[in-house]
Structure 1
């Protein structure tokens, strides 16, 4: 007779520990409304769009260091985490940043990448593991945007992700079922830039399974702006389905200083009020094939020019 009682107490304790986001950003916010409710205290561009960063953690940078360098509290912070085996997922690459993220008040953009298994191997058990990691953040009041298998249309090409679009959609819906009742967690569908709009549609899980839409792209021309880079995608998914629109990572290729500053201005200073679904942008503040950074490791003149877009 004691076992059912213990199980009930365990469920009640879990429900008691669960809490809404301490600093809600998109949670309970109307997707395509210009009303800024709930209000978040975090960093914004001069155009009012919320702003965050992808820190170069492998080279020792973190969000606290970026906040200190900019003088602003990032609204979002993005980290990457791989599922390395079909036998389970522990989320350690995310969890090692939990205390720091909580201290900043930022929302977490969690890129969970199924690198060590195929889409077909994303079972309810794997989805439950993902949900368990997410809850460890939301239980601390941290809002989580779950960017599951981001850039799926790109990563299947080199075999980083294994499977086709039909299998991806099934995997996505399996993960959605595991996290949909977690207060403070939003599912973030995020393909990579494609040549034509029809190439996205085969990867679309359906509006009932998506809370946020966004697309990764790296500008290559000083003439780039929101309309000519994101406009078609925004219309097809954010506006059509009334979804939050978020740019989870962007910078420029090549890493030309003038090009970086031009694109940063287009994102953080240009008037984007014609796109009310657009809520947040995150800069890819890393060194990889290019030095994408506009803050860390930059001289005073570059930093001053970068930060002018936020004053």
Structure 2
């Protein structure tokens, strides 16, 4: 009788162990659930997108040199009580809709006259345009009043938690009513200050009920933000982890690196590299690995996308080349190899 009982118990345990087990945390999200196409450009399950400089290139131009359609296309436009034309969005729309792999359209919205100028009529103009895109099969993330936590303010809507939350609530109400398929992306700038590395994020968080995705602007600018140096290993994950843990992993929300690049510095208006000595290839491919490598995905399982700022700009008293494609052929080759 004892042997029979033991045998039955062992058989039952063997049957249970043979069942498939889902070991993934319940909070892990999948990129496809948030509009990223299965066949879009990706690395280790992280969709790779771009913020094109639409003055010199289009989505079609970038996709022509990539092995797959970009996962996300970011677009900047400003809005105010005196201008609701939405910048270049109406002109970019046809090109985006025409792509065989539809990228997520990440509308990066600037409040040209500050948060207190923003009204429901402006929000409705945005929602109407976003509805046209979603109706055409283009997923939409509204990255509203991004980098709002920058202090001292470097934009018209920054460093004002009350004003930001007021404007956000207006945008959220309009989007939910008029373009319900579009998602709201809360996207502060990286701020690792404070003993816990949480910076001032909490001051600007609008609340779980209106935030669909969370994101960060986080660049590698080099030493002193002016030198050509390669980021130390773990720079991205180490500094982004407090934000990720609190707002992505901790809340079960998707995480987007919504604006990033590794900048390569020149003396202004010249082809002479600034100090530092590292090559453009080493800087940019090193940063690409940091933001989309396998180790990063393992640490940040809710990370669904990284969006590369594909501009060359005169700023910080230098010319800085942020481009991943349509610039250096060697760097472009690294993106083409994804």
Match in the other structure for 1:94 = 89
- 1:51 alignment partner, SS class: strand
Question: Does 1:179 pair with 2:197?
Answer: no
Match in the other structure for 1:260 = 284
Return closer, same or farther for 1:43/1:150 CA change in 2, 3 Å cut-off.
same
CA RMSD of aligned residues (A): 2.3
Structure 1, unaligned stretches of length 5 or more? 1-29
Match in the other structure for 1:7 = none
Cα distance, 1:66 vs structure 2: 0.9
**Deviations, residues 76-126 of structure 1 (Å, cap 9, x unaligned):** 10110011x3245122421211111111211100001101x2211212222
Return closer, same or farther for 1:306/1:128 CA change in 2, 3 Å cut-off.
closer
Aligned partners of 1:200, 1:268: CA distance in 2, in Å?
23
Question: Does 1:242 pair with 2:252?
Answer: yes
- Map residues 217-296 of structure 1 onto 2, 5 A cutoff: 217-219=218-220, 220=222, 221-255=231-265, 256-257=279-280, 258-271=282-295, 272-288=297-313, 289=315, 290-296=320-326
**Deviations, residues 116-174 of structure 1 (Å, cap 9, x unaligned):** x2211212222112212212212212111001111112286135326721111011011
- Map residues 185-204 of structure 1 onto 2, 5 A cutoff: 185-196=182-193, 197-204=198-205
Match in the other structure for 2:107 = 110
Return closer, same or farther for 1:33/1:153 CA change in 2, 3 Å cut-off.
closer
Q: Rg bigger for which structure?
A: 2
Match in the other structure for 2:58 = 62
Match in the other structure for 2:334 = 305
Deviates more, 1:121-130 or 1:156-165: 156-165
Check the 8 A contact 1:52/1:75 in 2, yes or no.
yes
Match in the other structure for 2:116 = 120
Tell me the matched-pair count.
276
**Deviations, residues 209-268 of structure 1 (Å, cap 9, x unaligned):** 100100101123242454213111100111122111111110124455111110112223
- 2:289 alignment partner, SS class: helix
- 2:323 alignment partner, SS class: coil
- 1:207 alignment partner, SS class: coil
Aligned partners of 2:52, 2:151: CA distance in 1, in Å?
21
- 2:204 alignment partner, SS class: coil
Return closer, same or farther for 1:142/1:132 CA change in 2, 3 Å cut-off.
same
Aligned partners of 2:86, 2:151: CA distance in 1, in Å?
20
TM-score (normalised: structure 1)? 0.81
Cα distance, 1:39 vs structure 2: 7.1
Return closer, same or farther for 1:130/1:155 CA change in 2, 3 Å cut-off.
farther
TM-score (normalised: structure 2)? 0.75
